Amino acid sequence: MKMHNFNAGPSILPREVIEDTAKAVLDFEGKGLSILEISHRAKYFQPVVDEAEALFKELLNIPDGYKVLFLGGGASLEFCMVPYNFLNKKAAYLNTGVWAKKAQKEAKAFGEVVEVASSADKVYNYLPKGYTIPADADYFHITTNNTIYGTELHEDPTSPVPMIADMSSDIFSRPIDVSKYICIYGGAQKNLAPAGVTFVIVKEDALGKVERAIPTMLDYRTHVEGGSMFNTPPVLPIYTALLNLRWIKKQGGVKEMQRRAEERANLLYNKLDNSKIFRPTVADKADRSYMNICFVLKDEYLDRKEELEKEFMAFATERGMVGIKGHRSVGGFRASCYNALPLESVQALVDCITEFEKKF
């Protein structure tokens, strides 16, 4: 049976990227050695990091003065590295979900944190608007795509202070204006690579401005100077990231990724907006994520919620749908539609919903 991979993360990667990774595990570029058994300082691994950084810069149109880092620790470690490196006195945070809130919590250990707005009052099913960002903040932190709740900022906001963004789950799904940010980071396992590598795009002249001492490994300058090689980087996930970046370029770049993301999202939201039994959790179309599409049973079915959710889950699983269970904090269903997901998989889910509706 054909499997349709809607996993939220780790998640789908292009088949050819997985196949080429498998080849490199057996024999890295004809060297007669596995990529797993070569030194990260070997002369043939350095070009992998160099090309991955060059493709980041090319695909995201990153201006001069920025460095791309490949680190360990996940986005969760960046929640702490960001304030360590950039928060002198005050930082502004937009609370749009659990990840945003976790980032904010870490910052509190380093200075004053202003929560400019929050959508926690409605289980984060919308994006706050009309808030004021304090002009004396060191930075304004946002989470561009809220993986758990299915909201997404489709454009870079305007801010009186430099921005920092967690782009774990929508990096490379649209063009971004990197010049508005001093730092963009994310765990790679949603839309870029297997778990194990964290990407950080950092503006070099924004570093070194805080007064505190920073432990070596948590200081971005260490990794800028070391070219992501201060210590052993996650070699294999970096290689897979490179293969995926080459794939994105070959497909037509981030504009094409954005076109495909919109096409997939329109297909599924259109079905959900007209469904007899389901509704999208995010009502405002402007706030809807193209990456993580969350839906629940309509109110009239809530008395049979548990039974019907189980029934749909089994029905969809029988038809090859994988990973559509909603996050435990939201319930219902979530279809993650990352770059590598073919439109046919979304069509298969739409057909599956249509078929299930016939029972009603």
Ligand X SMILES: *Cc1c(COP(=O)(O)O)cnc(C)c1O
Among 21, 118, 119, 143, binds ligand X (CB under 6 A): 143
The DSSP output letter for 31 is S
Which amino acids are annotated catalytic?
A: 99, 166, 190
Q: Looking at 41-49, 163-171, 238-246, 279-287, which segment touches ligand X (CB under 6 A)?
A: 163-171
Q: Which residue, 17 or 171, is less far from ligand X as judged by CB?
A: 171
99 contacts ligand X (rule: CB under 6 A) = yes
Q: Is residue 316 within 8 Å of 348, Cβ to Cβ?
A: no
Q: Which residue, 151 or 275, is less far from ligand X as judged by CB?
A: 151
Of all residues in the shown chain, the one whose CB is closest to ligand X is 187
Spatial separation of the C-alpha atoms in residues 53 and 134, rounded to whole Å: 33
74 contacts ligand X (rule: CB under 6 A) = yes
Which contiguous run of DSSP H or E holds residue 91?
strand 90-95
152 bridge partner residues: 145
Site string for ligand X, 222-261 (x = CB under 6 A): ----------------------------------------
Residue 225 DSSP SS3: helix
Residues in 6-25 at the binding interface with ligand X, rule: CB under 6 A: 9
Among 53, 156, 166, 287, binds ligand X (CB under 6 A): 166
Residue 331 DSSP SS3: coil
Reading the block at residue 283, the tokens are 């009502």
Q: Looking at 70-78, 150-158, 204-212, 263-271, which segment touches ligand X (CB under 6 A)?
A: 70-78
Q: Looking at 36-44, 162-170, 222-230, 341-349, which segment touches ligand X (CB under 6 A)?
A: 162-170
User: How large is the C-alpha radius of gyration of the chain?
Assistant: 21
Q: Residues with Cβ < 8 Å from 310, sequence gap 6 or more? A: none
Among 147, 191, 240, 289, binds ligand X (CB under 6 A): 147
Number of residues binding to ligand X, judged by CB under 6 A:
12
The nearest distance, CB 8 to ligand X, in angstroms, is 8
Q: How far is CA 56 from the centre of its chain?
A: 15
- In this structure, the chain runs to a length of 360
Q: Which residue, 290 or 312, is less far from ligand X as judged by CB?
A: 290
294 bridge partner residues: 334
Q: Is residue 149 within 8 Å of 123, Cβ to Cβ?
A: yes
Residue 22 DSSP SS3: helix
> Which of 271, 267, 220 has the alpha carbon at shortest distance from 68?
220
104 contacts ligand X (rule: CB under 6 A) = no
Residues in 177-206 at the binding interface with ligand X, rule: CB under 6 A: 187, 190
Can you give the binding site for ligand X, defined by CB under 6 A?
A: 9, 74-76, 99, 143, 147, 166, 168-169, 187, 190
